[in-house]
Amino acid sequence: MKNPIAAKSGNADMRIRVAIVEDSRGTRESLNELLSRAPALHCVGAHATGEEALAQIPAELPDVVLMDINLPQMNGIECVSRLKQQLPQTQVLMLTTYEESDLIFDSLRQGASGYLLKNLPPAELVQAIEQVHAGGAPMSMQIARKLVNHFQQIKKPQSDMEQLTKREHEILALLAKGFLYKEIADQLGVTLSTVRAHLHTVYEKLHVQSRTEAVVKFLDRK
């Protein structure tokens, strides 16, 4: 028959070790209580400042750290950066009230693996801790939407041809048809010097040195 005490100790070793970094005493206590009720989790430490966290967490060896951003003195993002240098395998979940995009991206750049808002239901927070420990990157719904919107708004780099103005396109199209500079000027109702000036700009934008190169690039644009 197995020793029940040994079995209990073995189960405890299998639990996910979690540390809390939160300056609000009430929130720390609530999180600690939540973790104590979750069979798969075990709170190994709760810290009120980033400085305290950096001093004590390396000895606690948590699997996951719940990190607030708005801490006194050292903020949570800086704490993440320093903590990851000491414990690169430890996963950090930001747990905050802030939804600003710059804070989200700064947190992720410094090593956080997820970003959660404090209004998250307790059951979902427990699930998020389990997910990040399993290799996931949990995000609150609002945060995930912000990330999606950010990447959707990033424009693809313009091709050389897309940088040309409408007038430059017109001149290059006529050039490709074999028109001479003066004929292009007459066709568009501009001076010869204007055509030359436009073509000088076209050559720079297309990174070419001659009429032939510009025409070849224009014809190959598709």
CATH number of 161-219: 1.10.10.10
Contact between residue 139 and residue 116 where contact means Cβ atoms under 8 Å apart: yes
Task: Write down the mean pLDDT value for the chain.
Answer: 88
Please name every residue paired with 65 in a beta bridge, in sequence order, or none if there are none. 19, 92
Using alpha carbons, list the distances in angstroms from residue 51 to 54, 61, 108: 5, 16, 20
CA 84, chain centre distance (Å) = 17
Q: Which residue has the higher pLDDT, 57 or 222?
A: 57
Residues 168, 185: Cα–Cα separation, whole Å = 12
In 48-145, which ranges are E strands?
64-67, 91-96, 114-117
Which element (helix H / strand E) includes 110? none
Nearest C-alpha neighbor of 80 from the set 110, 47, 48, 113: 110
Kindly tell me if the per-residue pLDDT of 60 is higher than 60: yes
pLDDT at 217: 82
| CATH 3.40.50.2300 assigned to 14-151 | yes
Kindly tell me if the per-residue pLDDT of 47 is higher than 90: yes
Report percent pLDDT > 90 for the chain. Answer: 59
- Range of weakest confidence among 4-18, 38-52, 154-168: 4-18
pLDDT at 48: 96
Residues 157, 116: Cα–Cα separation, whole Å = 32
Residues 93, 129: Cα–Cα separation, whole Å = 8
| Ranges for all domains in the chain classified under CATH 1.10.10.10 | 161-219
Q: pTM score > 0.85 for this model?
A: no
pLDDT at 157: 58
Radius of gyration (Cα) for the chain, nearest Å? 30
The DSSP code sequence of 176-221 is HTT--HHHHHHHHT--HHHHHHHHHHHHHHHT-SSHHHHHHHHHT-
| Amino acid in position 136 | G
pLDDT, one tens digit per residue, over 120-177 is 999 999 999 999 999 999 999 889 888 888 777 766 556 788 888 999 989 999 988 8
| Ranges for all domains in the chain classified under CATH 3.40.50.2300 | 14-151
Calculate mean pLDDT across residues 79-90.
95
- Range of weakest confidence among 4-13, 117-126, 174-183, 204-213: 4-13
Nearest C-alpha neighbor of 92 from the set 156, 127, 137: 137
